[in-house]
Structure formats: structure tokens, C-alpha cells
Amino acid sequence: MSSPDGSGARRYARPCVLPRSVDLLTGPTTGVIRLPRHLDWSGNAVYDLDAPGRLVDLYRTVIIEAAAPEDLYAYLEAATLRRLWSSIWLPAAVRESWQARFADLATIDALAASA
């Protein structure tokens, strides 16, 4: 079977879960949390939100692995997401989906790229 672009290859595209609004993200901002297995099965699912590197890791993991908007609401926080957005590595399709829905995130990326 061929792909819509005619290349012949088909790839599985994991659905991207988005919140209804970034402002609904009211997760924790400090402390240590453990992600449930459906979000992080790596064996290193404990995140110290006071450690900058682990905080970015948590946001990347939750954004990529979320199965439902409730996962996003439980573990992400709006102001922190906006602050970290340009430094979170995400697959292009995921970043594009978020930025298409939330123009402020696209603006944050544009500003970071021009700095």
C-alpha cells in the first residue's frame, strides 16, 4: 500500500491528545511525582519538579504519551508549559498539532527562534 504522498511507505501516526485549553492545565509545579505506567513505563517514572532537567523530561513524556486530556490536566501546568515550550523536544507532528490549536505556543517558538 502506498501513503497519500505517493512515497509507498505507510507510517503509524499516533493520535495527538490536546487539552481543550492550555489554561485548563493545573498540574503540580513543585515536589516529586510518579507518573502512572501508561505514561512512563521506563522504570524511571519519578520526577523531581524542582530539578529543571527532570521537569522538561516530565513535560515531554506527558505531552507525547497522554492517552486522554485528563493526563495533560493532571501533570502539566499552563504557565510552566509556556515557559518551557521552546526548550521541550517534541516530534514535529506533535509540536505542529499543539501550535495549530494554541497560537500563543507558536508565538513563543517564533520568538525563541528569532532570539
For 53-109, the pLDDT digits (tens) are 999 999 999 999 999 999 999 999 999 999 999 999 999 999 999 999 999 999 999
Distance CA 40, CA 20 (A): 23
Per cent of the chain over pLDDT 90 is: 80
Spans of all domains in the chain: 22-114
Tell me the Ramachandran region of residue 31: left when phi exceeds 0, alpha when psi lies from -120 to 50, beta otherwise: left
Q: What is the largest CA-CA distance in the chain?
A: 49
pLDDT of residue 14: 75
Q: How many CB atoms lie within 10 A of CB 31?
A: 9
Confidence check: pLDDT of 6 > 60: no
pLDDT in tens, 26-57: 999 999 999 999 999 888 899 999 999 999 99
Tell me if the pTM is above 0.95: no
Residue 108: the pLDDT is 95
In angstroms, the CA 28 to CA 109 distance is 24
Contact 103, 110 (CB under 8 A): no
